[in-house]
Structure 1
Amino acid sequence: MPGDDRITRAMTKRLCKCLMFLILLAFVLPWTAPKAATVSTGLTPLWDAPKGPGQSDDARRWLTQLRDSVSLPRAGCKKLSLPDLSLTKPARAFQIAIERNQWANGSPIVYLQEPIAEFFIVVATDVNACPWLSISGRGLPFGHRDIVSPFPYARLPALPEGAVITAIVQDYKAIRPWIMLANESSFVRDNTVLWVGLGAYSGILLMMIVVAVGFGAYAGSRVALAYAAYCIALEVWLVQNFGIGSAFVPFWPGPQYFPTLQAISVAGVVLGIGFAALEFLQLRGKVRAAVAGSVLLSAIFFLGSAWHAAGYRAGAAVLFVLAVATMVLLVRRVFTGDASLRLFTLGLGATLLGGGVQAFSVIGSGVEVSRLAAFAFPIGSLFQAAFWLAALIIRLRDEHRELHELEERQAAIMWATPDLILVVDRQGICLDYKQPYATRFFVTGSELLGANVAAVLPSETASIIQRGVEQALQRDDLQSVFLELPLEGNIHHYEARIAPNGPNKVVIVVRDITLQKHNEEKIRRLAYFDTLTGLPNRQSFLERLDRELLRARRTNRRMALLFLDLDGFKRINDTLGHSAGDCLLQTIADRLQEKLRAGAFIARPALDESSLHFARLGGDEFTVVLPDVDSAETACVVARRIQTLLALPALIGEQEVAVTSSIGIALFPDDGLDAVTLLKHADTAMYYAKEQGRNNWQLYERTLTTRTTAHLALEGDIRKGLERGEFRLFYQPQVRADDGAIVGMEALMRWQHPQHGLVSPARFIPVAEESGLIIPLGEWVLNAACGQVREWQQRGVSVPRVAVNVSARQLGAADFLDSVEAAVVATGIPADRLELELTESILMDPKAERIEGLFRLRAMGVHFSIDDFGTGYSSLSYIKRFPIGTLKIDHSFIRGLPQDADDAGITTAIIAMARSLGLEVIAEGVETREQFDFLQHAQCPKLQGYLFSYPLPTDEMEALLRRGHIALPSHTSGQ
């Protein structure tokens, strides 16, 4: 790298010297023209035909008169003929006054400082009063010029005092009036200087082309090749535009090809600039497309100028707009880019500025500008070529430095990578290697170097590597192969990634993946086996079941699937803890795998004990697959044996625990042809076994699916009923026992199904509980009850407390407390008008956050009661921890009154206990006068039941509330 920097600095110094020379040449070149009269002295426009003389009446009449005047025969004068001008190409005519005292030493030379004008015609009258005519321009062979000059000119004859000459200019582009006068010696001298400058310009471009091509070949740089293409295009344009080719190059095409050559050279320069800019600036996306499109459009227009003059003006206009837009785009790059980008931007700006000035002079159709305009584009291009060469050198230097840094970084990465890296040729010879100390392989790297892999590796491993090498070279793509090699008494696994490195070599990266393989096996066990019991999990079970089903179809044999669920497992988890539950599951898994297979319990010898397959699906659910069963009886024998094994007591810690199981059995092909159907039907049969009292087994029947389907249909109807507003609230009053005054009421939900009519709550409430729909149902009841209380109050009805049932699942919802508060606030009813009836099972799960939430609602004024009291596990300690205000005696105790002594004792005890605790008590389900008499005698203060009123719709309940009381039944005799 230090040597490279010294070379770069030396090249940069030489380039700076060259740049200084170019700058000097650029400033001298425009001023090498004669210092005689310019367009500002005596130049008078006669007419202007930008679309050609054929489109201008003035030009046609004037040319006709001039042709007649010149061709008129005069004594002692030569007969002259004015050439025919193209009627479609732009043309202009001027008059120039000649002052003889300025040209005392002879007649001056008049010339047009525009090297590409097609015709430059000068007409004058000499001292003998004879007409005089001179024709020059690129439309004539270059050899007609006795003075070799890039500019068309005419050597004027001796002219009388106050003479006026006429100049006609025609070209395929707009005409620029750069007509000048000079004496012959000055004209010759300045043309010589100009040719020298143009030669130097051309030589420097050739040098830049050689340098750029060399850079492109050495570095493989597209930027260098693009720069070379631009320099070639600029060289061609220079030779064509200034007549170097016509003047000095043998066999250069004649004047008839001039328009085509000029159009090609200008289009080539535009394309060269565009191609170089796109490559160097690395434009992307829409910006690249826009710039490329504009450059191509401008080049096409310039090419079209060979056939129509409008093409040159259109191309110049597009180029001018592109120059302005590109300079706006690049202005930030000068300050934010790297050094090469700044130089490139400055160079591009120089040529765009020069081209813009020259294009403006074309678009302006003859607007007078300084002589610098004639050389604006060549000067800008000269600066551009120099700046771009400097930018190219810096860019290549930076790329070389980045490449060197990348190679060093890659080398460091290679040594930091714990992989064996080999370079192997097509024949399998190891050409190079890198083996870190941490990587262990079958052989060392030094043994591989220079050897054929087939000679040092096992034959099978060598053939695998050789096939990978051939495929990588043939497909020119990365290949991966896996190897197994013995190392230190164990089998090690390796992955070899083979990448092509040229036409006959590959790079092989060998990685030890032994640990990865072991981890994959652990992951596979985690994915396919239950971590607690070691049994296959659901995924593994389903895959194995699919295989067994495929085999059963192929052999035309039957098979059975048993679905097991432990009875009462949740109770063990809740009472003894989850660790005890886990221990029980492990014990059961051991019995299924060991004791079941070891027992001689199978009635038919056709069933092989070792073919039993067990799996745990999750929770307390297990499955058993019985392949090759001949009948359902065989599966039933296995089910009974399993139940016997699982019923044996298991020692959990210091406590013996016994559980029973419910088993569902599904047979293939009788009950299903695929794994999902069999599993679903076995599950359905298992749930039916639980319904039949648990601790039994059941074979699947089609009627079970019908029941399950009906269950799902009912669940769907509940969802639709909620959406369609099919649910209604009925209200059952609660009365005071001594006078029949209405002291409360319970809101009861009813469902008016559009097809099935009134659906019993006993039918749809369990389904709603199981599916979770009880939560939105309960929320609807709460909002509807509160809304009805508000409506009654707005009508002037005195409304007592309304009780709403709340299930344990609803109370456990995260937003339950918020929904209660929202219902009370939204309706604006007093909170003490609302009572929430809780079930006793809620008291068995006294979570702190739940207790705090209930106390928060109680602080608002909401009342709480225990529904169906006496049927659960309530204790006084639980009741005291909750903000309970009322106990509702379950109707099962009221039903046996007064004949059943147990019911009577329990009811009397609950009433006494409530009184001692300061709690209210309500007896629900009162249906007979005898029950009423007993409760009144036992001093139960509030009663509810059919004896007083059935649940009533809203309007009937409103009428009852307006009366305020219900007539109590008369006492039975004997009471």
Structure 2
Amino acid sequence: MAFSLSAAVVGAVLGSVVLAVALAYLARLPNAAGGLKLWALSFFVHALQLLVVAPDPLTYDPGILFVSESLNGLTAVLLLAGTWRFLGNRGRPAVFAALLATAVGWALTAAMLDLSFFWTTLPQYVFMAGVMLITAWAFWSRRAEQRDNFTYIAVLFVAWAAHTLGYPFLGRDPELAPMGFLIAQGLTMAIAVGFIVLVQRRQAKDLAAAREAAVEAERVAAGREDHIRAVLNTVADGIVTVGADGRVSDFNAEAERIFGMHAVTVVGGPAAHVLPAEDHEAHPEGGLIVEASTGLGEDGRAVRATRTQARRGDGGLMTIDLRVACMRDAQGLHHVAVVRDISEALVTEHLDDLLQRLDQQAFRGASLDQVAGMAAERMAEVSNLPLVWIGTKELDGTVSLRGTAGERAPEVSFEGEIRWDAAMPEFCPAAEAVRLGETQQVTISTLVGPPGPCVRAIKGLGLDGVTAVPLHAQNEVVGVIVLAGDPAHLSRPDTARIARAGGRLGSAFQIVRDQERLRLQGTAMAAAANAIFITDLNGSIEWVNDAFTRLSGYDRKDVLGKTPAVLKSGVQSPDTYATLWRTVKSGRVWRGEMVERRKDATLYTVDQTVAPITDEHGKITHFVAIHEDVTERKRAEERIRYLANYDTLTRLPNRVLFRDRLHQAVSHARRMQKALAVMFVDLDRFSRINDTLGHAAGDQLLSTMAERIQLVAEDADTVARIGGDEFAVIQSDLPNAEAAAVLAKKVVDAVGTTVDMDGHEIHLGANVGIAIFPQDGEDPDHLIKNADMAMYRAIRSETASYYFFSSEMNAEAQVRLGIEGDLRRAVERDELTLFYQPQISVATGRVIGVEALLRWQHPEQGMVSPARFIPVAEDSGLILPIGEWVMSEAMRQSRAWLDDGLPPITMAINISAVQFRQDGIIDRVKALIAEHQVDPTAIEMELTESMLMQDARQAIELLTDLSDLGIQLAIDDFGTGYSSLSYLKQFPVDKLKVDQSFVRHITTDANDAVIARATINLGHSLGLRVVAEGVEDLETYTYLRAENCDVAQGYYFGRPMPADQIADLLRREAAGESLVPEETIGTAAGA
């Protein structure tokens, strides 16, 4: 028979359809493997491809080739996709769609370009071979699952891929093409059969696994009943199952516990033995469970609940909640009962109600006896005991009877004390319970030994059982509750529950006792010595005690509803109050010291404690503040601190405070990278004063020297007395060594000025040693040691009165002071100005003159003290132009005030020693008077006593010339320089100015008062007017008025001020305003 290619194609179509149908059938079976539908579809597509080429299998028609090759590509892709699903791999549809698009795309391209058979099929079959190889790899990689089958399929796909690659070359040969077609179809059929075998074997494997699962399920089901029973035995409720015959079929562990019966004795027996029915005849076997389930549905959804009394196995009664349902299963109808013993809950409920009532009574102010009596009555009611009594533990070691209840309570009577503080010779369970903190349960008839008071009383009532339960509160025993009755009754569980409630009762009694204590505390707080007040959360004051009103001066009505801000003094910073509130609002206690203000505006110091008050939930509701007045204690502490840190004679810091301040100064200098100077000052020849004039004179001299050093060292940080005749100075923020030299020279000059002591002219010298930080020491100890060493070098030196620790600094200190350059520029730039201090007539209290005082407004350093630049000006010669400017400006201002219509007053001008000795001083003064057109009698020139005594004869001549011009003359700082009355009477002066060092303390220092009085009398005796400097208070002014002093000047009347303020002062005075009290003026006038 001749070979027919068309017949072979038809046969291949039929074979492909049959295999596709077989695969589709397998895909519809239960638990079919994935991918079978895709395989079935691939063979249907393959059959369709064969039908397309069936008329002419070797056709080269482009259209037919396009459809045929597209279907071939789809077949390959479906086979790969089915394999991917079958093997359980997760494929992306987009990838397979891309592969199909590639195959169809090339077929379409070839058809449109009308390519040859070779070029049309070659890319297409390379693509198909690649897909087949991927499929083969997929099976090969999973061959461990079904080694023979997967290997077989993989080999077939490799063979098919190899055959496919040869088709573009052999398909055009009429002789080889049929054979190639048959091989291809054979491979296709073999792969399909292989697929079917794979599926069958997998299904067989799945069936075996299903059998194993069924066996396992049977095993699990076999143990499920045991598991369910174990679970039921863990349920917190009792479960009783009753069959249709009324007999118990299940009785779990909790049911055993509730009823006190064992399951083996209950299961199989009538349910009525556990819970009898009310209608016993209607339900003789099933009892209450069957009776309660009558009429319920049999699906277990409907439940009937009831509360009833049940009896335990020991005959005791209990209250239960019973929930019953009906349920039908393969074994028939079951009645399921869930039982819960609520006896303890009922007792607890009664106790809760009791405790609520106790709380209400406590907060209403009921006494402990009332509350204990109510508690005993309710306990007797709950327990059905004939006697309940309650006692409280007292601090004196006894137990006090507080309340009794029960039907036998009226008959009870105790003889003798019940003591808990020591073992009693007679047994008393109440005392033992309190002493040991443990429950005591006894049977009286079995006691050995003499009975105690409570046992005798109970035994007298015919009762034999006693249970004494300690009442606890906050881990302490506060009392005892005694239950008396039949021993069997006392051993019941509900009685035990009542006993266990002793802790809660104890807390309730403690609350009552605490309420009593609070009432006592309230009374005590009201009577407390410390001030106490309570505020709400917003700080509004709600309560204050009597001490608060006494301390603050405020009545209750003044502060209630207000905040503690009414006490603010302004001394504390806002940060202090912010910290206080932040602390107490966080639940912590704040303690600190506060300065408060009374209602009369006086200040007082308190140690303050502020604490939050919380409720039972820990929430803050109020704040309580306690103020302890420590004003006097603070004063005492300040006095002690002063004595520990200050020299009582000179009132200067002592060595202890000096070292402390030096430590601080060094730390500051190191941190700010600045220098500081430490000076040690030794008083030369002081020991001879002590030896000749006595220690009292020595003490007076030391005080004077201390004042002088402090005065000239006013810009220094600290001036201290560190030994008998030794002082020390700390000069911080030192710009250069010259500044230390300036201060040292001032100290030397101040000490060297003559002191008059009871007619004795005292001349002392000073030796100053200087050490500079950090050059001469980087710590206080080295600075002190080096300054001391430098001081002794100064003592030994014959030329220098002050000495720097290092020779380099000593040389540097002699260099012209840097301030000289600034001062020269100050003169050029008009940085100098004059301030004026009023001078007051003591008799009238009116301004009669002013003293012109030079000030330097430095552009960088601000206002510079004259003490700093006047010595520089004198040494450098700048004092001459500066002094002339001062005279000119003072006269100009005097003229200006007159031109403004102000009353004429005296203008006092200080003249320096250099000016006074300057040639032509008289002519220059004349010229200035003429220039400014001032009355020379309104000009007063002040010269120091020491300046005049340097050359007394020349001074007399110059003073005479100035006096002839009409200028008034005054000796400034009288009493601080050389004192020579013979020259004084020759000086043509008009006034003596008493130095402020004698005036400032005339009301407190008798010596100063004597000096001031003597100076006033001396001046008046010589026909001079006397001016007192340094008047700083009314007492000093009053004293001077009484001593007939003429003129007063000082801070009491006004500090040095600009010219415009003087003008305002004169205008106010003209309008009738006075700088001193009118009654003082009147008294002065009367005097």
Question: Considering only CA atoms, is the larger Rg found in Structure 1 or Structure 2?
Answer: 2
Structure with more contact order per residue of length (Cα contacts < 8 Å, sep ≥ 6): 1
The two structures have a TM-score, normalised by structure 2, of 0.26
